[in-house]
């Protein structure tokens, strides 16, 4: 008998590259940048960036400067853009990593002017409707044309690109075009992330920023997911027991057995990225003859354990693995059950410290 105690995350770099490559085709010759912020959504920015670099990617986006510094050694001559911009706490990181800040507003621009890094042409982000980072019109007016021409790219970000028919897409496109025409006529432009590339050629501009789609997330939920699943998250069964009619499961006794059942306690919990909102709702898969058997999470997800109804599986064994993410129950499936989006689920699962990560 084998006994295990630790969750395992299998990360398929080849499939990440495959997703990147198929999205890149949609960019129609524009730059297809790889977004590896948040440690590549937790999957390991260095590993992912290296694989993308080998596949020809030469432009990378991170959120924070130290994330850029971390990947520099594996993407030697690539452009690394930092979306959260530059400040006192990251300036040295920019210098060491030869990083390109995305300037978020006029105050940050003033900081940049006082702390320019030789050889770096920053990117400017402009506000088109997301109302997050980016220069408003009145801020753009404060810059001279000469100053505006110093930026390598003008960038904005779509709010509703995952809904093809949403009015915000056209509204933001029109605003972006107006800003570009008026202030950045000769500057290269970038508007779309993975979801934007499906909106039409007019959304492509000179660079698209491929992130979520590359990691297998369906960024276009109005159509079937064409991206391949890149993950397998599994955790071992620690014990199997009978649950008698009338007994309860987990904290606050939120599940009660209405008949005799069989349960398995699996060694993974919310400390490992299994959102507590999956309590009494989420599904777990065991494989029999290569086929998935879906089992329900019973009671509250706790910090280190999840209890699963295995009444359907006669030969369930201590030491075997329960699958939390697989081709049969993907990030979107868990997100739907948890009441959130696949991006959050991936970030939590990817960043979980205790999970053993295995790359292929």
Catalytic residues: 37, 251
Q: Judged by CB under 8 A, does residue 353 bind its own copies?
A: yes
Q: Judged by CB under 8 A, does residue 130 bind its own copies?
A: yes
Q: Judged by CB under 8 A, does residue 38 bind its own copies?
A: yes
Residue number, 219 or 229, with CB nearest to its own copies: 219
Q: Judged by CB under 8 A, does residue 302 bind its own copies?
A: yes
Q: Judged by CB under 8 A, does residue 152 bind its own copies?
A: no
Window 240 to 269, contacts with its own copies (CB under 8 A)? 240-243, 247-253, 263, 265, 267
Q: Judged by CB under 8 A, does residue 205 bind its own copies?
A: no
Using a 10 angstrom Cβ sphere, with 0-12 exposed, 13-18 middle and 19 or more buried, the burial of residue 353 is: exposed
Q: Which position among 73, 92, 239, 360 is part of the footprint of its own copies (CB under 8 A)?
A: 239
Strands (E), the chain: 8-11, 31-35, 59-62, 79-82, 100-103, 123-125, 153-155, 188-193, 207-210, 231-243, 248-249, 255-256, 261-266, 283-288, 291-298, 306-309, 321-325, 356-359
Q: Which position among 1, 119, 165, 259 is part of the footprint of its own copies (CB under 8 A)?
A: 1
In the shown chain, the binding pattern of residues 75 to 114 toward its own copies, with x for contact by CB under 8 A and - for none, equals --------xxxxxxxx-------------xx-xx-xx---
Q: Judged by CB under 8 A, does residue 316 bind its own copies?
A: no
Helix (H, G, I), strand (E, B) or coil at 239: strand
Binning the chain into helix, strand and coil, the percentages to the nearest 5 are 35, 25, 40
Q: State the DSSP H helix or E strand holding residue 174, giving kind and residue range, or none if neither.
A: helix 167-183
Which range binds its own copies by CB under 8 A, 158-166, 181-189, 196-204, 323-331?
Answer: 158-166
Residue number, 130 or 312, with CB nearest to its own copies: 130
Q: Judged by CB under 8 A, does residue 276 bind its own copies?
A: yes
Closest to 82 in 3D by CA, of 58, 92, 69: 69
């Amino acid at each position: 008998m084998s006994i295990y105690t630790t969750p395992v995350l299998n990360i398929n770099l080849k499939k990440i590259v495959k997703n990147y490559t198929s999205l890149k085709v949609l960019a129609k010759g524009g730059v297809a940048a790889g977004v590896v912020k948040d440690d590549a959504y937790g999957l390991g920015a260095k590993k992912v960036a290296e694989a993308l670099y080998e596949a020809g990617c030469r432009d990378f986006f991170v959120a924070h400067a130290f994330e850029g510094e971390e990947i520099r050694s594996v993407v030697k001559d690539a452009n690394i853009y930092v979306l959260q911009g530059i400040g006192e706490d990251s300036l040295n990181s920019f210098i060491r990593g030869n990083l390109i800040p995305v300037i978020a507003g006029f105050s940050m621009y003033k900081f940049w002017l006082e702390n320019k890094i030789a050889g770096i042409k920053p990117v400017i982000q402009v506000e088109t409707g997301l109302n997050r980072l980016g220069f408003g019109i009145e801020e753009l007016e404060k810059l001279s044309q000469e100053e505006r021409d110093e930026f390598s790219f003008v960038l904005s970000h779509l709010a509703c690109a995952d809904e093809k028919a949403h009015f915000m897409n056209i509204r933001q496109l029109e605003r972006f075009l107006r800003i570009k025409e008026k202030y950045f006529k000769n500057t290269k432009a970038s508007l779309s992330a993975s979801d934007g590339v499906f909106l039409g050629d007019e959304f492509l501009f000179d660079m698209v920023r491929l992130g979520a789609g590359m990691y297998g997330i369906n960024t276009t939920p109005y159509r079937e997911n064409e991206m391949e699943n890149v993950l397998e998250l599994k955790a071992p069964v620690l014990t199997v027991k009978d649950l008698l009619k009338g007994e309860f499961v987990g904290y606050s006794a939120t599940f009660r057995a209405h008949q005799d059942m069989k349960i398995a306690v699996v060694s993974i919990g919310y400390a490992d990225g299994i959102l507590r909102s999956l309590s009494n709702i989420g599904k777990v898969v065991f494989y029999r003859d290569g086929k998935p058997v879906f089992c329900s999470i019973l009671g509250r997800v706790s910090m280190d354990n999840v209890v699963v109804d295995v009444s359907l599986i006669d030969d369930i064994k201590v030491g075997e693995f329960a699958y939390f993410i697989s081709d049969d129950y993907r990030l979107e499936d868990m997100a739907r059950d948890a009441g959130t989006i696949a991006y959050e689920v991936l970030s939590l699962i990817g960043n979980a410290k205790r999970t053993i990560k295995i790359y292929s």
